[in-house]
């Protein structure tokens, strides 16, 4: 194995530094001019390429960028950038939307791809005097939509989740799926091989890959994400796993003669629904891509443009033909296809313009065509110039068209649903711990778990339950623990859904120590209590309960009820004060309400005391308005579940007394509250309002004790 010399390392680092500086600096300039960053990155690459830096300082350019080891290293990182961009595009692709928009997506893709293939081939053969194979290869290049550019542009604009954007992505991916079998055909024709056999082989392998990924690949991805995140202690282990699996997917499609970007996109689609694929994890992937790998990819695409390969007026005429004539026809037929699929005029226009975006995987296809001898260097440069000009022209046009593509009521509802889910607390809570320890009263929480599992299944959200069991012989086993075991066993049989699972572990050490250890890989612990009591001057649920509330590594939900089994609720009261821990409690309550078709009442107490910190200096109308703002935010977050929600705001000098009056005024089945866990001598310090309600309320009480939801310890 040959390593790099010190000189190779030095030159490579200099090259990467120059490339990153140029691309990110130009990206910042583009952003300040209200242009997409990808345009700045392409232009940054062009400026340090052979047409600019190479022409002004040829010796320096060839000494740094002309080294084989440097060019190979940059090319590898460029490919990684393209793969990660398509991974992100796959994560953001919504199969539900794609199914709904299948017809306009197919028609738009057919119009854009068909027109590009036919018109570009004719222009290249008849007007540019190229061979039929060369003309057809150029047609293939032009038919490809630069999905990586589309994805980055839509991410920057914040419109990736719009319906027309999903159609654009689907049509762009269709062009990439189609191009590689056709490249195999034209390559076989060029080399004298069997074109039909090459095309059929590529098509069969593509179908086999899709079938594998949607079945065994999907199951393995889900299993691996759970195991690496929950079992191993590797820092950022799930991120490493994703990079490994996307590499394997890219390898599979590359080995099949398709394209690694196709494998990356398909894996991204699987990952979007996988366990432990949290918003924070996806943000880390995007940050890694956008900050390092994507600039290298787009910068290198710009560097490949060499204006000295052009041949005067003839090349300029070719560039204008490709840019104006062929580009206009691709936009037009993409528009016609989308409109035939019943998209609106402005959505169809946006799709047509977006499908003409270049500068990404289309450049990769052009490079492959050049390496196969199907495209000459001057033809590649002409196309690369067209790509840069298209990226310069398209974004502002697309921005104006997109601004006129006003979403309809259904799309607004979907976008609000997605935004509410992004803000919600419980949507990404996947790992739930049930300690089946007699002191923690598991019989009070199993029916609650069952209800939440039902609601999570309806939302197609991951809900993995870990049950810790103490080893009890028949003589010492209590009726309560037997009942809990029976309900949990019923839950295992009843919930037959791939998003819900139950894992049972046996406690082989001190129960409290075992729970603390298990909590390190969990998100919420569910425990039950039959009473609250004072410990010195503080609230206490019992020694073991208090220890978990104070010191567990994850959130804790305590259920307080005097009966043996928590009854199914009909009306749930949730006091909300605008802080995140109270909104988190409202989110948990909404899942319970949804499962039982119960009424959820979001209740805010507007302080009337002059000394109240939040309301001081405001009149009664201002105080009430703030209260309604709080309950509306909570209502927005929980409405995505379809819960039956009512909101109430009451004026009162003391929140606890006002809430107790509300509990007496109407028949409530349950009250759900949120708090931040803080320690106190001999007990807990959860705040005077929470402590008063936990002591005085007579209905079942659920208390969610959160960690750092408001930036507190």
Over residues 528-543, the pLDDT tens digits come to 988 777 655 677 888 8
Can you list the alpha helix ranges (DSSP code H) found in 327-478?
327-340, 345-354, 361-371, 377-404, 409-423, 446-458
Average pLDDT, the chain: 81
- Please give the biggest Cα pair distance in the chain: 97
Residue 181's pLDDT band, with cuts at 50, 70 and 90, is low
Q: Answer whether 429's CB lies under 8 Å from 524's CB.
A: yes
Pairing of strands 500-506, 463-469: parallel
The confidence score (pLDDT) of residue 22 equals 94
380-401 pLDDT, tens digit each: 888 888 888 887 888 888 888 8
- State the virtual CA torsion across 234, 235, 238, 243 in degrees, nearest 10: -100
Q: Which residue has the higher pLDDT, 474 or 370?
A: 370
- What is the CATH architecture of 6-406? Up-down Bundle (1.20)
Torsions phi, psi of 292, nearest 5?
Answer: -130, -60
Mean pLDDT comparison of 83-92, 197-206, 226-235, 541-550, highest-scoring range:
541-550
Under 8 Å between Cβ of 99 and 336? no
- What is the per-residue pLDDT for 659? 93
Q: How high is the pLDDT of residue 451?
A: 85
25-29, 166-170, 252-256: which is most confident? 25-29
> Do residues 649 and 606 lie in contact, with contact meaning Cβ atoms separated by under 8 Å?
yes
Higher per-residue confidence, 477 vs 126: 126
- pLDDT tens by residue, 642-699: 889 999 999 888 899 999 999 999 999 999 999 987 655 556 778 888 888 988 888 9
Residue 195: count other Cβ atoms within 10 Å of its Cβ. 17
CA–CA distances in Å: residue 713 to residues 426, 551, 676, 706, 709: 20, 11, 8, 10, 9
Q: Which two tokens stand for residue 163?
A: 């319906």
What pLDDT sits at residue 637?
92
| CA separation for the pair 81, 88 (Å, rounded) | 11
| Strand 538-540, strand 571-575: pairing | unpaired
The percent of residues in the chain predicted with pLDDT above 70, rounded, is: 86
- Determine the average pLDDT of the residues in 617-630: 77
Give residue 373's Cα distance to chain centre. 40
Per-residue pLDDT band at 108 (split at 50, 70, 90): confident
Spell out the residues 6+ positions from residue 479 whose beta carbon is closer than 8 angstroms to its own: none
Predicted confidence at residue 710, as pLDDT, reads 45
Return the DSSP state at 567: P
Q: Report the pLDDT value the prediction gives residue 618, as an integer from 0 to 100.
A: 52
pLDDT band at 195 (very low <50, low <70, confident <90, very high): low
pLDDT band at 475 (very low <50, low <70, confident <90, very high): very low
Domain covering 422-706: architecture = 3-Layer(aba) Sandwich (3.40)
Residue 526's pLDDT is 93
Separation between Cα atoms, residue 577 and residue 605, nearest integer Å = 8
Confidence of residue 497 (pLDDT cuts 50, 70, 90): low
- Per-residue pLDDT tens over the stretch 579-604: 899 999 999 999 999 989 999 999 99
More confident residue, 293 or 483: 293
Residue for token pair 């490079």:
367
Higher pLDDT, 151 or 662: 662
| Average pLDDT over every residue of 303-321 | 79
Q: In what order do the strands lie in the sheet with 571-575?
A: 500-506, 463-469, 431-436, 524-529, 555-560, 701-706, 670-676, 571-575, 599-607, 644-652
Backbone φ/ψ region at 431: left (φ over 0), alpha (ψ -120 to 50), beta: beta
Q: Quote the percentage of the chain above a pLDDT of 90.
A: 17
For CATH 3.40.50.12370, the residue range(s) in the chain are 422-706
In the structure, what pLDDT confidence band is assigned to residue 196 with cuts at 50, 70 and 90? low
What is the dihedral angle through the alpha carbons of 368, 372, 377, 382, rounded to the nearest 10 degrees? -50
pLDDT bracket for residue 615 (50, 70, 90): very low
Q: What is the pLDDT of residue 583?
A: 93
pLDDT at position 281 over 60 = yes
Return the minimum-mean-pLDDT range out of 162-171, 294-303, 654-663. 162-171
Strands 679-680, 533-535: pairing is unpaired
- Is residue 78 scored above 70 in pLDDT? yes
Assign 471 a pLDDT band (cuts: 50, 70, 90). Answer: low
Provide mean pLDDT across the span 628-637.
92
Q: Lowest-confidence range among 39-43, 51-55, 152-156?
A: 152-156
Given a cut of 80, whether residue 72 has pLDDT beyond it is: yes
Q: What is the mean pLDDT of residues 53-63?
A: 91
Predicted confidence (pLDDT) per residue in 558-578, tens digit: 999 887 677 788 999 999 998
Angle at 204 between CA 225 and CA 245, to 5 degrees: 15
């Amino acid at each position: 194995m040959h390593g790099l010399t010190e000189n190779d390392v030095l030159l490579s680092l200099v090259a990467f530094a120059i490339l990153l500086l140029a691309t990110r600096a130009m990206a910042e300039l583009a952003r300040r001019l209200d242009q997409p960053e990808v345009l700045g990155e392409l232009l940054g690459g062009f400026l340090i390429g052979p047409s600019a830096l190479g022409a002004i300082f040829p010796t320096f350019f060839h000494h740094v960028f002309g080294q084989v080891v440097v060019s190979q290293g940059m090319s590898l990182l460029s490919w990684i950038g393209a793969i990660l961009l398509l991974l992100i595009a796959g994560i953001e692709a919504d199969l539900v939307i794609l199914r709904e928009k299948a017809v306009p997506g197919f028609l738009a893709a057919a119009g854009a791809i068909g027109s590009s293939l036919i018109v570009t081939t004719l222009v290249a053969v008849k007007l540019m005097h190229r061979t039929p194979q060369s003309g057809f290869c150029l047609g293939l290049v032009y038919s490809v939509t630069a999905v990586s550019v589309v994805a980055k542009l839509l991410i920057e604009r914040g419109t990736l989740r719009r319906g027309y954007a999903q159609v654009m992505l689907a049509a762009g991916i269709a062009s990439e799926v189609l191009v590689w079998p056709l490249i195999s055909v034209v390559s076989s024709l060029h080399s004298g091989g069997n074109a039909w056999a090459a095309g059929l082989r590529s098509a069969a392998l593509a179908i086999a890959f899709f079938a594998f990924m949607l079945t065994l690949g999907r199951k393995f991805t889900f299993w691996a994400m759970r195991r690496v995140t929950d079992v191993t202690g590797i820092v950022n282990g799930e991120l490493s796993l994703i990079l490994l699996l996307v590499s394997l997917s890219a390898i599979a499609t590359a080995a099949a003669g398709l394209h690694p970007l196709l494998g990356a996109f398909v894996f991204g689609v699987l990952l979007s629904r996988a366990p432990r694929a949290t918003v924070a994890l996806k943000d880390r992937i995007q940050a890694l891509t956008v900050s390092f790998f994507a600039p290298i990819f787009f910068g290198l695409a710009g560097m490949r443009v060499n204006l000295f390969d052009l041949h005067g007026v003839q090349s300029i005429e070719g560039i204008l033909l490709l840019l104006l004539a062929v580009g206009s026809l691709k936009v037009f037929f993409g528009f016609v296809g989308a409109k035939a699929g019943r998209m609106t005029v402005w959505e169809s226009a946006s799709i047509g313009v977006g499908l003409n975006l270049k500068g990404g995987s289309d450049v990769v296809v052009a490079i492959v065509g050049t390496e196969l001898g199907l495209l000459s260097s001057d033809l590649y440069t002409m196309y690369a110039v067209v790509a840069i000009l298209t990226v310069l022209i398209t974004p502002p046009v697309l921005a104006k068209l997109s601004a006129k593509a006003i979403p309809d009521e259904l799309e607004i509802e979907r976008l609000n649903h997605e935004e509410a889910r992004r803000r919600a607390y419980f949507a990404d809570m996947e790992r739930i711990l049930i300690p089946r320890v007699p002191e923690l009263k598991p019989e009070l929480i199993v029916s609650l778990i069952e209800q939440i599992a039902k609601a999570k299944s309806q939302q197609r959200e991951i809900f993995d339950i870990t049950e810790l069991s103490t080893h009890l012989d028949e003589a010492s086993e209590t009726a309560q623990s037997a009942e809990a075991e029976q309900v949990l066993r019923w839950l295992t049989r009843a919930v037959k859904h791939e998003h819900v699972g139950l894992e049972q572990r046996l406690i082989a050490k001190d129960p409290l120590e075992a729970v603390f250890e298990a909590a390190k890989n969990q998100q919420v612990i569910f425990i039950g209590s039959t009473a609250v009591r004072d410990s010195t001057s503080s609230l206490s649920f019992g020694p073991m309960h208090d220890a978990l509330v104070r010191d567990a590594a994850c959130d804790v939900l305590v259920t307080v009820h005097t009966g043996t089994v928590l009854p199914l609720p009909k009306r749930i009261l949730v006091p909300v004060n605008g802080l995140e821990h109270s909104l988190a409690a409202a989110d948990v309550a909404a899942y319970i309400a949804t499962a039982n078709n119960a009424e959820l009442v979001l209740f805010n107490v507007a302080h009337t005391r002059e000394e109240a910190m939040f309301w001081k200096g405001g009149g009664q109308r201002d105080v009430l308005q703030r209260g309604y703002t709080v309950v509306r935010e909570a209502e927005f977050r929980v409405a995505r579940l379809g819960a039956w929600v009512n909101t109430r705001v009451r004026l009162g000098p003391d929140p606890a007394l006002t809430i107790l009056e509300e509990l007496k005024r109407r028949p409530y089945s349950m009250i759900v509250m949120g708090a931040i866990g803080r320690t106190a001598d001999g007990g807990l310090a959860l705040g005077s309002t929470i402590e008063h309600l936990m002591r005085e309320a007579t209905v079942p009480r659920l208390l969610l004790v959160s960690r750092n939801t408001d930036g507190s310890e």
